[in-house]
Every structure is written in C-alpha cells, then in structure tokens.
Amino acid sequence: MGKNLVFGLLAGALVIAFGCSGSGSGGGTTAYTLEQFQFPLTSKDVARGEEVYAEYCEGCHPGGEKGDGPSIVNEGYPPAKVRWQIRSGLDDMPAFGPDKISDADLEAVLAYAETLGAVKR
C-alpha cells in the first residue's frame, strides 16, 4: 500500500508539473494584462506579417475567415486586444509567447491583420 501511495503521489505531481509547463501550447502565459499592450502599431511589414500568419494563424483562421477559429476579417479589433489574445490565448486558441512569435513578428502580424480589416489603428 505504501508503494502505491508514493507512486500515485509522484504520478500526480508529474501530471500537475506537465500541465503547468505550457507544453502543447504556443508558449505564452496568462500573466499578461491588456494594459501591457496599449501602444500603437509599430510595424508596416505586411509581407513578413503574412509569412508569420501563414505559419501560426492560417490553420485556424484561413484567409482570415472562419475555420477552426472565428473569422477575423473586418472585425476592427484594437491592436492591444489582438496582441493580448495572441500572447495569452483564450478558449481553444493556444498562446504564442515570444519564444514562438517574436515581438517584431507579432507587430508584423498586426500589420498584415490590418489589411484584412481585423485590426484597426
């Protein structure tokens, strides 16, 4: 009985550690606040933004339209909300931390998203 208890506690600790490690997510964190992202768009690099979008976003938001994720076309979200959403994730959307999408690439994604009407300056 003692071995089973120790094994059960160890297995539980590993499950908790794995679940809290961010494995399987984009590497972001829910520790971000919307206020951190309240600043104007800093990039006009639409081409780079389209590349990054194709790699990380296109699978769920094909062409900006509804796929696994909602359509973002013509939504006109504030840049801060989109930055926060990408970094924090929400519901089924994974978080993409700076280890996946750099800050510069995030701003380029916003520049591309602006061409879809998803972001409004």
Single pTM value for the model:
0.74
Gap between the Cα atoms of 10 and 65, Å rounded: 45
Q: What does the pLDDT average to over 42-46?
A: 96
What pLDDT, on a 0 to 100 scale, did the predictor assign at position 2?
Answer: 56
Instruction: Determine contact, residues 73/64, Cβ cutoff 8 Å.
Output: yes
At 62-83, the pLDDT tens digits run 999 999 999 999 999 999 999 9
Among the four given CATH numbers 3.90.1300.10, 3.40.50.300, 3.40.640.10, 1.10.760.10, the one describing domain 26-115: 1.10.760.10
Give percent of the chain with pLDDT exceeding 70.
Answer: 75
